[in-house]
């Protein structure tokens, strides 16, 4: 019983950690709010309250009704609202926007036998022409009764499931499993969101170190763990395939989803996935960068450093950078795990310069951490001039540079 409660807390803890990063949630103005969902929820009696829409290959079909937060959300009340606003000549609008784009679509005026909701059917091409798999910002959506009046403004998200890199691997992450039997051994979880789309997230289960042989278990969601349909996978075999020796003692320490790769820190080392943009139809494969001289115990205490940034419409000098710090040895490895999008002669130079700069920032943050300097203290010191970035040699994609700080 106590164990079960702990699990609930852990899962809830993970969820809250995730939810706090989602900037937009339902805001209720006056006492009415929109409830909007896509076609698949049409027949469910309980409609999801948070608005999470998904754009697939075809049209975006959205159904909305108004409900009064003080009253029961019944078909009769919905119909009453529909009649009230339609007779006043009002219909809802949906605004779809991200940091570089905004467009408003209008719902049709509807009246008819048995109708209790407004609906709209937007062709995919009216929202985006692109269909390639790439990091792309998740859109926010804003529903209003009659655009411009800001009545009953209700917000939500719209995720492009056709383009989001990690979602192309939803069925190809490992061996599907049910986690129920493993839950008594669960001691912690780690959650990572796609840098561009907070609703696409991965949760890693961390088990009691005394219980061996459970392996690497992760779950994936496309709706920020709002529903119970998280899919769970056993990735042990995929990881073991990379290791030449036997893989006893393999356990998950942490995981990070960057723009184009999934990175897993395990007790047997760091594993970097292949580029998520190019689906192969086979299980997601990993490779292991060689970091000499570290053992299981070091990895167990290691920590991944990642500055989460969405690289949609990125410039050539923007790269993803991951740092790995080893507690015991006070050592930082900088791993540049990104391919530049365009091949032009200056590409390596520019991305190397940025890599060195970002590496430098991670390095400075690491130093601060090692010497337990608080950022607050630092700000009070009126930091005038940038610290010189440490030397670091990066050659090209997926090469490693290791720096050791002697204390």
Ligand X SMILES: *[C@@H]1O[C@H](CO)[C@@H](O)[C@H](O)[C@H]1NC(C)=O
Residue numbers at the binding site for ligand X (CB under 6 A): 30-31, 39-40, 42-43, 70, 98-101, 105, 122-123, 126-128, 136-137, 177, 182, 187-188, 213-215, 217, 234, 236-237, 312-313
For the bound state, the minimum distance from the C-beta of residue 346 to ligand X, rounded and expressed in Å, comes to 24
Q: Which is nearer to ligand X, 133 or 214 (CB)?
A: 214
- CB 310 to ligand X: min, Å: 7
**Do the Cβ atoms of 301 and 328 come closer than 8 Å?**
yes
For ligand X, the closer CB: 26 or 389: 26
Minimum CB separation of residue 112 from ligand X in Å reads 17
Nearer to ligand X, 39 or 297 (CB): 39
98 versus 398: smaller Cβ distance to ligand X: 98
Nearest distance from residue 262's CB to ligand X, in Å?
18
Query: CB 225 → ligand X: shortest distance, Å?
Result: 17
Q: Which of 291, 31, 279, 230 has the alpha carbon at shortest distance from 132?
A: 279
Residues, the chain, total?
A: 407
Sheet holding 51-55, edge to edge: 51-55, 151-160, 139-145, 92-98, 101-106
Question: Please, which residue, 164 or 222, has the CB nearer to ligand X?
Answer: 164
Q: Provide the minimum distance between the beta carbon of 279 and ligand X in the complex, in angstroms, as a whole number.
A: 20
Nearest approach in angstroms of CB 402 to ligand X is 24
């Amino acid at each position: 019983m106590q164990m079960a409660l702990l699990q609930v807390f852990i899962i809830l803890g993970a969820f809250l950690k995730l939810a706090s990063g989602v900037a937009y949630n339902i805001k209720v103005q006056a006492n009415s709010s929109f409830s909007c969902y896509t076609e698949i929820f049409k027949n469910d009696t309980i409609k999801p309250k948070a608005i999470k829409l998904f754009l697939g290959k075809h049209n975006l079909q959205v159904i909305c009704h108004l409900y009064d937060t003080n009253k029961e959300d019944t078909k009769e009340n919905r119909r009453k609202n529909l009649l009230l606003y339609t007779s006043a000549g009002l219909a809802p609008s949906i605004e779809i926007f991200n940091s570089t784009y905004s467009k408003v679509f209008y719902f049709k005026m509807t009246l008819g036998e048995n109708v209790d909701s407004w609906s709209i059917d937007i062709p995919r091409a009216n929202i985006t022409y692109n269909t390639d798999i790439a990091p792309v910002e998740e859109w926010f959506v804003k529903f209003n009764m009659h655009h411009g009046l800001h009545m009953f403004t209700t917000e939500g998200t719209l995720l492009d499931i056709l383009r989001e890199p990690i979602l192309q691997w939803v069925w190809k992450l490992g061996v599907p499993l049910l986690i129920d039997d493993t839950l008594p051994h669960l001691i912690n979880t780690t959650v990572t969101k796609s840098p561009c789309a907070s609703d696409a997230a991965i949760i890693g289960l961390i088990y009691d170190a005394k219980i061996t042989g459970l392996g690497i278990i992760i779950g994936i969601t496309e709706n920020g763990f709002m529903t119970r349909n998280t899919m769970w996978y056993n990735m042990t075999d995929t990881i073991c395939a990379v290791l030449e020796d036997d893989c006893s003692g393999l356990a998950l320490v942490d995981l990070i989803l960057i723009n184009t790769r999934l990175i897993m820190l395990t007790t047997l080392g760091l594993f970097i996935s292949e580029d998520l943009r190019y689906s192969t139809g086979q299980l997601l494969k990993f490779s292991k960068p060689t970091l000499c001289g570290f053992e299981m115990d070091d990895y167990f205490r290691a920590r991944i450093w990642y500055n989460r940034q969405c690289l949609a419409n990125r410039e050539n000098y923007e790269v993803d950078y991951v740092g790995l710090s080893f507690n015991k040895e006070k050592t930082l490895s900088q791993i540049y795990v990104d391919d530049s999008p365009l091949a032009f002669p200056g590409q390596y130079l520019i991305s190397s310069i940025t890599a060195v700069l970002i590496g430098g920032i991670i390095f400075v943050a690491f130093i601060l951490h090692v010497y337990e300097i608080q950022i607050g203290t630092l700000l009070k010191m009126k930091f005038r001039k940038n610290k010189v970035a440490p030397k670091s040699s990066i050659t090209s994609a997926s090469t490693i540079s290791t720096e050791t700080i002697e204390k």
